Structure 1
């Protein structure tokens, strides 16, 4: 652990932030927490120690490092900016790390706001889901300066197995967009493969056990094919959040002039899942869409 960082603030104790902050407490850091729902923060403190605060500003006061893990751009602005935001409580030379999957534009906005106040900033979205957060095995994609990265990395490694600086501010968010583009296409392909195997009368489990050893293998295939076959989706990364992420990807692609035809199609398919009432289902629920008779 970097000896210059002994006190951290963690803002956002959802399914990801709760275990991530827990790893920091177990590592011996003094953790100051804020969560919009106060009962959640109280429960975290009862389990892990540390202290709960009424506003992001209060949580950030006196912290060497402030970590944010909330839902979207607007949520980040709410907890980071303004009179009660984290930046208002941060001391000179401290560092803000945003783990939220957000837009590249927001990363640039936060970087500028931090620099104006003499603060460091990293955009550092994560991949690995709730299981990765609980196991301390997240992939963390960072954007910012080398100096800020080197200062924060020893702390992030308490819950990240791969912590990498991708480039200047915004590069972490752009890398996460690449991740979500790839995941969306992989899950749709897996859903179609399982659907095809089912329609062909094959033993789906046996098919997966064979092909996952070859070129078709992926994390999604290893960790999701069994629940997909069993039509179980009350777990994992919610469709609502994936649509938020893919919306960010598609907007950035329009700005860059990049072509994402498959991503746009998969985004529409997730819209169908939402219309089926599956906004909170795992993203692997694309198979249920194929199993559901069409109205056409």
Structure 2
């Protein structure tokens, strides 16, 4: 996602400096897009009007913000840090305090959408923080998004992203199960997908994940099952803190854990369907029916 953001901004002729803790990744993005390569997060932040952060988890975000070479150390007064990572709202608030302590501004600003959404500037930005700070970041965010929602104060952007992802991961599980059931009962995979996409269940997620579901070995991972598990853990922790039962998220987390245990952790989230196909074949072998109607 971060690489796609850099490419989109460069295509819009925005000056960009990139940093990643894995230097080769950042160097590849810089070479491909014409962005400048920064040796540290501090150097990437130095002199910037807006700093965008897009990282996998809380630990990566914390490591990038803090320390002598962290981005906080490179901030100047007036810079706006817009963190698009999906992280615990408490982490977003705590690191936002560090940024504000350096005289800069902070937004927890995760996004809803896929890499193709970035490439076409069609993300939805879910921003928590001061509205005045969001307004200063809008010129940059506008290159990436078709809508920017000011959700509320610090932490609310991170909170609503977890809620949104809870729905997305439920859709992924439901779509996987429905597709494999239809296949197992004799419906062609593409035909089944045509029906799903045209039905009342045809959410945007169903449309943009079609290639991954129809050709699981031919499409590179866009969002791995390991990251789905991370998201659901964060959502379940949040639900527990606010005292809300989350039976759907609990069931989906168990399903993801099963797929990860079976070796699908680094595969795209759509690989839940492949995991279900494998389980069906396994049950079929045990019952001696060759896999037909094994579930």
Please give the range of the TM-score, normalised by the shorter of the 2 chains.
0.7 to 0.9
Deviation for aligned residue 1:234: 4.3
TM-score, normalisation: structure 2: 0.88
CA distance in structure 1 between the partners assigned to 2:179 and 2:44 by the alignment? 47
Does residue 240 (structure 1) correspond to residue 219 (structure 2)? The answer is no
Superposition pairs for residues 98-247 of structure 1, below 5 Å? 98-225=83-210, 227-232=212-217, 234-247=220-233
Name the residue aligned to 1:288. Answer: 274
Name the residue aligned to 1:267. Answer: 253
Superposition pairs for residues 58-77 of structure 1, below 5 Å? 58-77=43-62
- 31-40 vs 56-65, which deviates more? 31-40
CA distance in structure 2 between the partners assigned to 1:45 and 1:230 by the alignment? 30
- 225-234 vs 151-160, which deviates more? 225-234
CA distance in structure 1 between the partners assigned to 2:221 and 2:63 by the alignment? 28
Does residue 82 (structure 1) correspond to residue 67 (structure 2)? The answer is yes
CA distance in structure 1 between the partners assigned to 2:32 and 2:149 by the alignment? 30
CA distance in structure 2 between the partners assigned to 1:31 and 1:203 by the alignment? 46
Q: Which runs of 5+ in 2 are unaligned?
A: 287-295
Q: 1:215 to 1:84 in 2, by over 3 A?
A: same
* Superposed CA offset, 1:170-219 (max 9, x none): 11111111111101111111122222222332344334323433322222
Q: 1:223 to 1:95 in 2, by over 3 A?
A: closer
Q: 1:41 to 1:150 in 2, by over 3 A?
A: same
Number of residue pairs matched by the alignment: 281
Deviation for aligned residue 1:133: 2.4
- 213-222 vs 69-78, which deviates more? 213-222
Aligned-pair Cα RMSD in Å: 2.0
Q: Retained in 2: the 8 A contact 1:185–1:263?
A: yes
For the residue of structure 2 that corresponds to 1:202, the secondary structure is coil
Moved over 4 A (4+): none
Name the residue aligned to 1:7. Answer: none
CA distance in structure 2 between the partners assigned to 1:226 and 1:262 by the alignment? 26
Name the residue aligned to 1:27. Answer: 12
Q: Retained in 2: the 8 A contact 1:69–1:99?
A: yes
TM-score, normalisation: structure 1: 0.88
* Superposed CA offset, 1:253-274 (max 9, x none): 1101111111111111111111
CA distance in structure 1 between the partners assigned to 2:18 and 2:190 by the alignment? 44
Deviation for aligned residue 1:42: 2.6
Deviation for aligned residue 1:238: 0.7
For the residue of structure 1 that corresponds to 2:270, the secondary structure is helix
- 30-39 vs 66-75, which deviates more? 30-39
Deviation for aligned residue 1:120: 0.7
For the residue of structure 2 that corresponds to 1:92, the secondary structure is coil
